[in-house]
Chains A and B, each alone.
Chain A
Amino acid sequence: MTTTSAGDLETAELAGEHASAVELVAGRSPTQIAFERLRKDKVAVVCFTIVMLLVLLAILAPVITNAMNIYWDIQDPNAPNPSEVINFDGYPLIGPPDHGFIWSHPLGLAPRVGTDNLAFVLYGLRTSLIVATIATILTTIIGIVLGLLAGFSRGWLDRLLSFTIDLFLTLPYLLVALAVAPIIVSRFRNNVNDLGKVQAASLILILVAFGWMGLARLIRGQVLSLREREFILAAEVIGVPTRKVLFKELLPNLVAPIVVATSLALPGFVAAEAGLSFLGLGLTGIPSLGKMISDATRYYSDYPLYLWVPVSVVAILVLTLNLLGDSIRDAFDPKTRE
């Protein structure tokens, strides 16, 4: 472990509080302790299992849809034509809502086009997870770097960065997203091949642009308080380079807040992606849970299953990720220890 100083600090604190536990805890890093506690947390274990299951379903989406012979894309040569599976009024000729459950399409078919709902949900889940993961990684990196810089720099750089953070916090998120996305897309409207990539990039850009400030502020605050601690002062006195102080001394002490912020950001991005897709800022020709929800609302009175499926998937994904995030926070937070 390179986190000697940090480990020592935390252990020392711990020793003060629970003298009797010293022997038990000795030799383990706070991260190890946190994972130990997570393993014992039933909610965390259940949520983790569900999240992993959903991730697995998303990863295996092509395998599952191939095996079941179902399609989300009407352009697929093997997918049934709308006229083969759709009634005159747009509702499916097989399966719900007018007919009973069928194994070949367990969640029914989409009205009007006749694509399979299960296939669409699996691929939508994929889109959600990919977009949310990339956005989380990017916001985490940006938040950490800017937070460290702002907290440690003092003076004009801190003021500039803090102002930038405040500026981005004051921008009305939805308004900017609704205004900017079509502008970005319209610049690329004549190039079909790039359109999908551009839409994906602009969606992630919007999520990242409005997602990094929270973490940056948190890190800055943490750094401000740690900066005055003895081990940092000592490192500075003996001439350790700033870069080393930042990444070797400060960063290891910030693992807990970073892990907590990240685990809570992920479900936020899943929900935000669905919301933006619902509002029509999503990806053309790529399945998305938000788009499915927006399509399904108009059919709700006659075909509730079509809406309940994507809503449940989003709800389960966001709920489990949030609960997992809460558990992680509890596990990492020394104040909640018994």
Chain B
Amino acid sequence: MRLRKPIVALSTAGLLALAACGGGSSDSGSTDTSKDVNKDTLGNTGNGQDPTAEGPVTIPGAQKGGTVTVLTSTGLTTPIDPSDLYYTDTNGIMTSLVTRSLTQYRYDEKTKQMILVPDIATDLGTPNSDYTSWTFTIRDGVKWETGDPVTADDVAFGISRGMDNKTFPNGPGLYYSNPYFATGDTYKGPYTDKGKLCTCVTVDGNKITIKMSKPFPDLPYYASFPAMGPIPQDKSISDPAKYRQHPMSTGPYKIKEYTPAKTLVLERNDQWDPATDPARTAYPDAYNFKAGQDLEKTDQILLADTGEGQTTLTYDDVLAQDYRKFKENGRIVLGGSPCTYFISPDYRKIKDKEVRQAIAWAYPYKDAILAGGLIPDVTAIPASQLMPPGIPGRETYNAVPGHGDFETDPEKAKQLLQQSGNEGFEIKFLWRTDNPINTQTKDVLIKALEKAGFKATAVPTTEAKYVEDRDDVNSDINYRTYGWCSDWPSGATWIPPIFQSTDLKTVGFGTNEAGFNEPAIDQKINDVFSLDADKQPAAWQALENEVMTKYFPIVPQYYTGVAQAHGSKINGHFDDNTLGTPTFRNIWISQ
């Protein structure tokens, strides 16, 4: 999933692990942050499922009322139309508070994990024997904000609508609905195909059946996306141009006011029945999201903790220089987010594995993280593999023999370069000249690479053109950095996007930013998909192990963590580690 976070260093995003406030030890002079986040559970998302969960949900001692203010710097700039929604922040806000899908996640305080539970479906779906057909039963008593009942036909329309890639180019349908659902390769959606619905979805009373073109054992996870929820069939309401301004609510809150990139005001939706909802609590009366906020200002408001600041929270990470103060006052939420940042050396231009391994030794992990304003071990957690901890089937391995966490050793890099006859190999990477922090991290990188026997060249670009230049397969660079977040805890959302070859001429890198292309691996990826569901997790891990050990196409930099602050009257703010956003479903205000 794509992420939306302020540009501190490289741009970051998020998932959940350790939510409880910092424990007992808070000696301020300490330089050791390595215990702040529990690294074993980083990506531990939905490794629990509870198909029988029922509403209503209550939190002992929680009080009703109040308005929660949420401040963010870069949030709310991406679409909130459920069919077009594929960014972590809007996903967290909309699925927790406004729109309901077939399934959803519930925060479990005991394990500090998100658990997959039903939403408007009565359970987590019933597959056939080879996972090519899934059936869900839609709950009674789920209503639109207008009071009309939500029907299985509404859900079928929503699923078809999400497959209209032309109308909704940002949505997840392009990556999951169309490739997996039967006829998804030819069906173009209700708008492009003039009112036709996908024949892959059939409705029988309150039962809905989705047929697949290939096995899709992870569908219950995908079913938690807004694109897998109901959309009103009335054309005058769900017209894409109008609906993106005001998606209809099925959840506990409805949209009162929405200005993209500025504000989102939510008020209570009295048509929502808690008894039908196995995860949402909805204690506050209203939510007020304010985007485009200055990070320093947000930190100061939350540190001062007066007036409205007491009922304010942010899903941006606190600035490194304020971290110690927040840790002392305990109003900080730490945890993981399901994202990995890595270097993608251009597989076409950097042909020797030794050079890529030399980069792993030469890269100044800690220096770049500090200079970039991230907090080592808190918002940037040591990584040496692609999939973050907690993904089912994950096992540790070592693709670069002897390489430890955040270890930089120019001598080892030099040795590798010498052995492979690549001394003075030129690394060319992008430098955003108008970004002062990037200018400094560039200096740090050049120094480290040159010390390790590389020749380092920074190719100038600007903040505005950066992504375009990076994604251009013809750019005169051979070193790119990229981040990826899982859509749900499964190797299927990691290995294919990053390691499957793409047609560079027609689609470009896609999400395989290294341009990694090995037909043997492409074949093995397809083989894993045809395995039994229970064998897939181990098979994905084995495949990652093979790719990384044999080819080492990417150099992992770090897993992301979150460090979100909140006011003293906010309760229930934990880290939703499926997204790295606050657990909006659990928040309440002490009066």
Contact = CB atoms under 8 A, between A and B. Distances in A.
A186 B367 CA distance: 29
B446 interface: yes
A298 B367 contact: no
A77 B433 contact: no
A295 B437 CA distance: 10
29 contacts: A74-B371, A74-B443, A82-B371, A82-B444, A88-B32, A88-B33, A88-B323, A88-B375, A89-B321, A89-B322, A89-B324, A90-B373, A91-B321, A111-B321, A112-B370, A112-B371, A112-B373, A112-B440, A113-B370, A113-B440, A182-B434, A186-B462, A189-B460, A190-B460, A192-B460, A195-B460, A285-B443, A298-B319, A302-B321
B129 to A, nearest CB: 52
A113 B441 CA distance: 9
A93 interface: yes
Interface in A168-199: 182, 185-186, 189-192, 195
B82 interface: no
A166 interface: no
Determine which residue in B33, B366, B367, B434 has the highest number of CB atoms from chain A within 10 A of its CB, and name it: B367
Contact of A195 (B319, B366, B433, B451): B433
Interface in B449-489: 450-451, 458-462
Contacts of B434: 182, 185, 280
A189 B460 CA distance: 6
Interface string B263-289: 000000000000000000000000000
B462 A189 contact: yes
A295 B296 CA distance: 12
B553 interface: no
B37 to A, nearest CB: 12
A284 interface: yes
Interface in B291-344: 296, 319-324
B346 interface: no
A77 B447 contact: yes
A90 B374 CA distance: 8
Contact of A81 (B364, B373, B450): B364
Contacts of A295: 436
A73 interface: yes
Contacts of B451: 77
A90 B370 contact: yes
Determine which residue in B375, B450, B460 has the highest number of CB atoms from chain A within 10 A of its CB, and name it: B460
B462 to A, nearest CB: 6
A312 interface: no
A74 B366 contact: no
Closest 3 CB pairs of A and B: A83-B366, A75-B443, A90-B320
B24 interface: no
A292 to B, nearest CB: 11
A79 B448 CA distance: 12
B320 A88 contact: yes
Interface string B25-59: 00001011100000000000000000000000000
B464 to A, nearest CB: 9
Nearest to A199: B433
Interface string B351-387: 0000000000000101100110101111000000000
Contacts of B517: none
Interface of A: 73-77, 79, 81-83, 86-91, 93, 98, 111-114, 182, 185-186, 189-192, 195, 280, 284-285, 291, 295, 298-299, 302
A75 to B, nearest CB: 4
A93 B373 contact: no
**Consensus secondary structure, chain A interface:** loop
Given A111-B321, A112-B320, A89 B367 contact: no
B439 interface: yes
Given A89-B324, A90-B321, A185-B433, 19 more contacts: A74-B443, A75-B443, A77-B450, A77-B451, A81-B366, A83-B364, A83-B367, A88-B32, A88-B375, A98-B29, A111-B321, A112-B371, A113-B444, A186-B462, A189-B462, A195-B433, A280-B434, A285-B439, A298-B321
Nearest to A79: B447
Nearest to B440: A113
A75 B446 contact: yes
Contact of B370 (A76, A79, A83): A83
Contacts of A298: 296, 319, 321
B363 to A, nearest CB: 12
Given A74-B444, A87-B31, A299-B321, A284 B439 contact: yes
A190 B144 CA distance: 53
B430 to A, nearest CB: 11
Contacts of A191: 460
Contact of A74 (B324, B436, B440): B440
Contacts of B448: 81
Contacts of A79: 447
Contacts of B431: 192
B457 to A, nearest CB: 8
B371 to A, nearest CB: 5
A186 B463 CA distance: 11
A88 B376 contact: yes
Contacts of A112: 320, 370-371, 373, 440
A259 B183 CA distance: 84
A83 B376 CA distance: 10
Contacts of B444: 74-75, 81-82, 113
B297 to A, nearest CB: 11
Contacts of A82: 366-367, 370-371, 444
A98 to B, nearest CB: 7
Contacts of A190: 460
B320 A89 contact: yes
B31 A113 contact: no
B202 to A, nearest CB: 55
Nearest to B32: A88
B39 to A, nearest CB: 15
Contacts of A299: 321
A77 B446 CA distance: 10
Interface in B413-450: 431, 433-434, 436, 439-440, 443-444, 446-448, 450
Contacts of B370: 82-83, 86, 88, 90, 112-114
Contacts of B440: 74, 112-113
A81 B431 CA distance: 20
Contacts of B375: 88-89
Contacts of B371: 74, 82, 112-113
Contact of A192 (B296, B367, B458): B458
Contacts of A280: 434, 436
Nearest to B365: A83
Contacts of B33: 88
Contacts of A86: 370
A73 B440 CA distance: 9
A117 B36 CA distance: 31
A79 to B, nearest CB: 8
B31 A93 contact: yes
B57 to A, nearest CB: 37
A192 to B, nearest CB: 5
B381 to A, nearest CB: 12
Given A83-B366, A111-B321, A88 B373 contact: no
Nearest to B34: A88
Contacts of B373: 90, 112
Determine which residue in A89, A113, A298 has the highest number of CB atoms from chain B within 10 A of its CB, and name it: A89
Nearest to B300: A301
A30 B518 CA distance: 85
A88 B443 contact: no
